[in-house]
Amino acid sequence: MLLYTLRRLLLAVLVAFTVSIISFGLLRLSGDLAAAIAGPEATEAQIEAIRVDFGLDQPLVMQYVDWLLGALRFDFGNSFYFRDSVVSLVADRLPVTLTLGALAIMFALIVSIPLGVLAAVKQNTWIDRSALTIAVSGQAMPSFWFALILILVFAVNLRWLPVSGSGTWAHFILPAVALGYYATPAIMRLTRTGMLDVLASDYIRTARAKGVRPGKVLFKHALRNAVIPVVALAVVQFGFILSGSIVIETIFSLQGLGLLMWESIGRRDFPVVQAVLLLIAMMYVALAFIADLLNAWLDPRIRVA
Amino acid sequence: MNKLLHLTLLSAGAFAFASVNTAPSALAGPDNDTLVWASDSEPENVSPYHNNLRERVVLARHVWDTLIYRDPDTGEYRGLIATDWEWVDDTTLEVNIREGLTFHNGDPLTAEDIEFTFNYVVDPDSGVVTRQNTDWIGSAEAVDDYTVRIHLDEPFPAAIEYLAGPTPIYPKAYFEEVGLDGFSREPIGSGPYKITEVRPGQHVRMELFEDYFEDSPRAEATIGTLIFRYIPDGETRLAELMTGSVEWLWRVPADQADQLEAVPDVAVTSGETMRVAYLRMDAAGRTGDDNPFTKLEVRRAVNHAIDRQAIVDSLIRGGARVINSACFPEQFGCEQDVMVYDYDPDKARALLEEAGYADGIETNIYAYREREYTEAVIGYLREVGITANLQFMQYAALRDLARAGEVPIDNQTWGSFSINDVSAITTTFFNLSGDDFAQDEQVAEWLQMGDTRTDPAEREEYYSKALQRIAEQAYWVPLYSYSTNYAHIEELDFQPYPDEVPRFYAASWK
Amino acid sequence: MSTVERHDSPFRRMKAAAVEDYIAPSPWTMLRRRVFGNAGLVVGGTIFALIVLMALAAPLIAPHDPYAQSLANRLVPPIWHADGTWIHPLGTDGLGRDYLSRLIYGSRISLIIGLATALVSGFIGATLGICAGYFGGRVDMVISYIITTRLAMPVVLVALAVVAIVGTSLQLIILVLGLLLWDQFAVVTRSATMQVRAQEFVTAAEALGCSRLRLLCSEILPNVMNPLIVVMTLEMANAILLEAALSFLGLGVQPPLPSWGLMVAEAKPHMFFMAWIIMLPGAALFALVLSIYLVGDGIRDVTAPENRN
């Protein structure tokens, strides 16, 4: 297990390193940074001074090392647009996105685990097929469109829930539903497959033979085992959900990282774009690492692979 | 394993919820004496000299006082910080200051603050982005505690108008202590509202300034708290108004305004504003010498291609009208007797052929506001063979690209900072600066003359020449004046003015 | 055809024997039965075929030029509305363009994006996956690392950032999505190749001195084709949704192209009072993507029924 963990960790670090190079490259591709920092009315001399000041006259590798050292200390420089450091902007928005992501994944689990169990128990019946259709619809529905419909129905027509902002729990319900629905089919399928495997396994048959009530078999024994890989998958899905939040946050004017990213793109504020990109990628790397360990811990066969 | 699941989810939820911000929306409305107004753009810096968004003008009018106040009903100039003023000569204005004024932090407001403000904003290193509003100032000098002299390099008869608008006064001591960064985080002014919270990307909270002086010519402010909320999405703003989380909106598209009339508890008012829309074309060839817009025929073809009347009648409505001159028709010096380009797609096609573009033109078109209006323009251009691909971005990004000479054609709008004088628009965009797509020295010279002569008739004459040449050379496509639709809750007593500055200090609950 | 097969090779005989073992009805009959017995595949296939037909015949069936704007005829309601007319069966948009025609032409954009992206990403992914699976060892390690890195890049955010820097066009969107969506192809072909490789007929072919390239093309590729097609449908659907989302955010296909995602964005200002105007393009997207998913699921069930659960 230790060896496996170390190997996975090495891979995660390597990937993180590569991603940081890509993010760095993206900012450099965006144009002359010195001119961007200096602003539109700067003279050549001022731009040149900034170039030297910010070390932009150094070789690219040196610039990268400088930038990386800064990034490791959470120093991503200053926003071109706001007179504020990138990290304080990001820190301000991070809790909103994490809350949204956590709620979205919770919603996905609440919907897809019962659907998956139901589908497995009623395998190959119309219930099985309907459950799958409900889940797949979530994936096929454009999330921005689903979000607009939710606003139209639940916020404007029924007035059950607020439209935008992040003041209370209620503000997060619609965005979390819109975002979480997309993740349901993957989780639902995995639950169903896991349940079918477990239900067919010897010890469940034994439990049944011993006369344990069917409900107890299902929930106490079968689900408990089937849910293991689902947790690992949910962790990875959480990473995907974070990157999907850009669309949802924009629609609900939720002041999270996604909205910050979208606006920064509109403002050509590339240091912020880069920082958000890097942060979300890093979160994904970390989550994938955790998921790997979870899977390996739960299923010893993986450790040797 | 259930435990594991619970643990994972609970910890994820817990750390995420620990620090969610509380937005102000829940506490809005007349019951809490809080007016939430929402808009689509967010100033990059709350300091009024360091952004040129309309929202800035609105914030500035509430938080900072200017020397002079122009009564929006009568157009009469009255002293605000000033008590009176006098031209010592053509280039020296002496202003007497009211005694006993204080800034929000309790510091007294004296002539030194005015001297500091004006000398700071004309300093090339101050990072000011609204230079056109202060370029006319040479320097300021405090004669004594309550007298200040403003020295001009050249005569500038529109000075009083500028002193009554985009020239708020800063507190010298505080600004020097905290610097621009500190100031933009915790700004201090001397206006009827003080800023109590600035959250970039979210909101600016303002509260009534209790020590605001009593005999101010402004209406007495009554609403306790103002919150400017930044909500980028138009439909979200609308939904917030309909569901009662926001009390006041503007720039509601005509279609929705019509429909909103039927919504109970919502009032809609509309009117023409000083803002005009126009296309700028890269006549100077800054994006490349082979740029088709360097050809007069192409620019004229673009002018003929667009059915501006149809855009006004169908899309904008509510008091908007077609303009033909590069300014707002009621501004001083806005010559109306200029060349007019009728909607004539055949002529446009013929002109394009004449210019050697029989096969059409493909270009990027830049825009930052009301996408639908720009798309209508794109539709008309397409009819005559000009394929314009839309590049939509935020204002500051477009401004910087345009100043860097990278924009072949854009759909711009300008509200002249609500200044009733063509120097606030035509000169701004034809002064050979980065904002000037024409780079026409003759036009710039005439405008310069117009700006600096003291005889109004002479000024009009120069502006007329410049505007006629601008139209004749088809540097712009003047499109239309804007109408703005305001939507607010019925309980708010709100009076709109054509200068596009909502005066919340004059608003009250019914 | 390879020389090996012409000479009735041992592994060919082996394959044939394996098949003959359980054939009672002819394999075609079996396949037909399985295809038509699969409701999802039939429904999805029909919707998908209809949309493809609509895209191909767009100039013939669209009642109007999808770009012709007429500001005097803005926001005409659809036919089921009291004020609807047959001139514009689905009404017009905010610039007076015929909505039905724009929807019909919009299917072309979605399909082009979906197919082209799946081809680009399929080529990249399959190449990487086959190399990793066939060569194993170091090659496999490097490619696995590339796949993991790619997975760590949030697709929507990277696509947005690239588009913001480079500018937007249909081709660029295809290229960007193609360069981002290859991971599943690589994962699936890698493991399929590993399985095939372990089988005797490949070892035998190698023993007979087949060149590696020829072997990859003639033996492994046909064997990984089925899972590849399934992944292709998934990625097509994915690409279509991503393009729609990018266009909706204003950083995808640019106006006046009638991309369905863009149409939702353009219709958004009218959504509170004319709900149909956002419903139609969104529903079109939903139908197309759902049909592709159903076809993908169906193909998997039909070609590999043993993997179904």
Residue B68's identity, in one-letter code, is I
- Count of alpha carbons within 13 Å of A258, Cβ hemisphere only? 27
Q: What is the pTM of this model?
A: 0.81
Q: What is the Cα–Cα distance from B81 to A265, expressed in whole angstroms?
A: 41
Beta-sheet strands, E only, within chain A: none
Task: Output the pLDDT for position C35.
Answer: 67
Widest CA span of chain C, in angstroms?
76
pLDDT for the residue C19? 46
Is it the case that residue C6 has pLDDT exceeding 50? no
Cis peptide before C256 (omega within 30 of 0): yes
The whole-angstrom separation of Cα C238 and Cα C226 is 19
Three-state secondary structure call for residue C99: helix
Q: Where are the alpha helices (DSSP H) in C155-199?
A: 155-166, 170-180, 183-198
Residue range B3-42+201-271+484-509 in CATH 3.40.190.10: yes
Report which of residues A151 and A218 the model is more confident about.
A151
Higher pLDDT, B119 or A290: B119
Q: Which of A148, A273, A277 sits opposite C271 (nearest CB)?
A: A148
* pLDDT score at A301: 60
Give me the residues of A, 14-33, that contact C with CB < 8 A. 14-16, 18-19, 22, 26, 29-31
pLDDT > 50? residue A298: yes
Return the domain boundaries, chain B: 3-42+201-271+484-509, 61-188, 273-482
Q: How many helices (H) and strands (E) does chain B have?
A: 15, 18
State residue B425 phi and psi, 5-degree precision: -130, -60
pLDDT digits (tens, 9 = 90+) for C69-124: 888 888 888 888 878 788 888 888 888 899 999 999 999 999 999 999 999 999 99
Give the model's pLDDT for residue B24.
42
Q: Which residues of chain C are within 8 Å of residue B372 when distances are taken between CB atoms?
A: 94-95, 266, 269
Are B101 and B108 in contact by the 8 Å Cβ rule? The answer is: yes
Q: What integer pLDDT is reported at residue A83 of this predicted model?
A: 66
Chain B: partners with 3+ C-beta pairs within 8 Å? A, C
Q: Which of C10, A250, C140 is nearest to B236 (CA)?
A: A250
Is C154 touching B (CB cutoff 8 A)?
no
Angle at C149 between CA C148 and CA C151, to 5 degrees: 65
> Where are chain A's structural domains?
90-268
Same fold, B61-188 and B273-482: no
* B386 membership: H or E segment, kind and range: strand B386-392
C67, C271, C273 ranked by CB distance to B382: nearest: C67
Q: How far is CA B315 from CA B254, B309, B319, B371, C76, in A?
A: 7, 10, 12, 12, 14
Who has greater pLDDT, A113 or A266?
Answer: A113
CB contact under 8 A, A29 and C165: yes
Compute the distance between CA of residue B343 and CA of residue B471 in angstroms, rounded to an integer: 15
On whether the A90-268 domain is CATH 1.10.3720.10, my answer is yes
Contact C176, A46 (CB under 8 A): no
pLDDT tens digits for range B410-428: 999 998 877 888 988 999 8
β-strands B82-89, B203-208: how paired? unpaired
Lookup: tokens for B218: 């402004």
pLDDT in single tens digits along all 510 residues of chain B: 344 444 344 344 433 433 333 344 445 678 889 999 999 887 778 888 887 778 888 999 999 999 999 888 888 899 999 999 999 998 999 999 999 999 999 999 999 999 999 999 998 888 787 887 888 999 999 999 999 999 998 888 888 989 998 899 999 999 999 988 889 889 999 999 999 998 877 889 999 999 899 888 888 889 999 999 988 888 888 888 888 889 999 988 888 888 888 888 899 988 788 889 999 999 998 888 888 999 999 999 999 999 999 999 888 887 889 999 999 998 889 999 999 999 999 999 999 999 999 898 999 999 988 888 999 999 999 999 999 988 888 787 788 888 888 899 999 999 887 788 898 899 989 998 888 999 999 999 999 999 888 888 999 999 999 999 999 999 999 999 988 889 999 999 998 887 788 999 999 998
Look at residue C309 and give its three-state secondary structure. Answer: coil
Q: Is it the case that residue A304 has pLDDT exceeding 70?
A: no
How confident is the model at residue A38, as a pLDDT?
66
Residue A66 has pLDDT above 80, yes or no: yes
Question: C272, B242: Cβ pair inside 8 Å?
Answer: yes
Q: What whole-number percentage of chain A has pLDDT above 90?
A: 2
Structure tokens at B503: 């005066």
Question: Taking CB atoms and an 8 Å limit, are B235 and C273 in contact across chains?
Answer: no
Kindly report the number of other CB atoms within 10 A of residue A219's CB atom.
13
Q: Hey, what amino acid is at B305? A: A
**Tokens matching residue B144:** 């004594």
Q: Is C172 on the interface with B (CB under 8 A)?
A: no
Instruction: Pick A247's closest partner by Cβ from C39, C165, C245.
Output: C245
Rounded distance between C-alpha atoms, residue C54 and residue B483, angstroms = 42
| pLDDT digit string, tens, across residues B290-311 | 889 999 999 999 999 999 999 9
Does domain B61-188 match CATH 3.30.450.80? no
* pLDDT score, position A9: 87
- B391·C256 Cβ contact <8 A: no
Residue A6 in contact with partner chain C when CB distance is under 8 A: no
Alpha-carbon span B138 to B152, nearest angstrom: 4
pLDDT single digits (tens) C30-61: 667 766 667 778 888 999 999 999 999 989 98
The alpha-carbon gap from C102 to the nearest alpha carbon of chain B, in Å, equals 14
Residue B486 corresponds to which amino acid? Y
pLDDT-derived band of residue C203, with 50, 70 and 90 as boundaries?
confident
Average pLDDT value over all residues in chain A? 80
Neighbours of B21 (CB within 10 A): 16
Helix (H) / strand (E) element for C42: namely helix C39-56
Record the tokens describing residue B324, joined without a space: 């033909």
Touching C (3+ Cβ pairs <8 A), the chains are: A, B
Q: Which residues of A touch B401 (CB under 8 A)?
A: 268
- DSSP codes, B489-500: ETTEE----TTS
B479: Cβ contacts below 8 Å, ≥ 6 apart: B276, B277, B278, B279, B306, B308, B311, B322, B323, B377, B411
| Distance, CA of B263 to CA of B65 (rounded, Å) | 37
Q: pLDDT tens, A149-195?
A: 998 888 877 878 777 776 677 788 889 998 888 888 888 888 888 88
Look-up: residue for tokens 């639940």? A154
Residues of C with Cβ-Cβ distance to B234 under 8 angstroms: 268-269
Task: Quote the minimal CA–CA distance from A209 to chain C in Å.
Answer: 24
pLDDT digits (tens, 9 = 90+) for A274-287: 888 888 888 888 88
Smallest Cβ–Cβ distance between A155 and the set B5, B202, B243 belongs to B243
pLDDT for C213 equals: 66
* Contact indicator for B471, B283 with CB cutoff of 8 Å: no
Interface check A159 vs B, CB under 8 A: yes
Q: Which residues contact B352 (CB under 8 A, 6 or more apart)?
A: B297, B298, B301, B358, B360, B361, B384, B385, B386
Are C297 and A152 within 8 A, CB to CB? Answer: no
Kindly report the number of other CB atoms within 10 A of residue B234's CB atom.
Answer: 18
User: In whole numbers, what is the pLDDT of chain B averaged over residues?
Assistant: 87
Instruction: Give me chain C's average pLDDT, please.
Output: 81
**In 3D, which of B264, B262, B241 has the Cα closest to residue B252?**
B241
d(CA B107, CA B103): 5
**Domain B273-482 architecture:** Roll (3.10)
* Record: contact A246-C249, CB cut-off 8 A: yes
Structural contact between residues B162 and B136, judged by C-beta atoms closer than 8 angstroms? yes
